[in-house]
Amino acid sequence: MPPRHCLHLRHAHVYHAGVLCEIIDVQGDRLLARDGTGRRYTLSRFLLEGIPLTTAWLHRLGLQEGERLRNWRSGIAWVLRRTPQGYCLVPEGDAGAVRVQGALPYVHDLQRWHRGLTGRYLTLINDPGPETPPPPTP
């Protein structure tokens, strides 16, 4: 289940009962979402499944490894890197990745960081095609 603070981001993508949905509004523990056909759902935040961040999902979001995200407030650039633990953001020029920030295990984590850094929502730009939802969590 995505952490509560991540659910306050409109346009976050999550799975609900195996269906890819985009959150369009948050009302307490209830979320208003829509699927790719435009069908609307009222969801409980307790029943959501995060989408693991993969190279394929980066492509769907129009990003790639090494992408620079400039902080709109400070002007500092962050670079999207893949580590053995998954994707993360590293301040540009920090080759040793000593100051790694923002472990990004899920798509909604990247969407939250992107919004915080750039001031813009990160949404799907490439058709995701048929979805294979993650296996149910025990």
Q: How high is the mean pLDDT in each 10-residue block of the chain (138 residues)?
A: 50 83 84 89 80 90 89 84 84 61 81 86 68 51
Q: State residue 112's pLDDT score.
A: 85
CA 132 – CA 135 distance, rounded (Å): 9
* Predicted pLDDT of residue 127: 57
Can you give the pTM of this predicted structure?
Answer: 0.74
Q: What is the pLDDT of residue 1?
A: 43
pLDDT score recorded for residue 27: 81
How many Cα atoms sit within 13 Å of 21 on the Cβ side?
26
Q: What 8-state DSSP symbol labels residue 126?
A: S
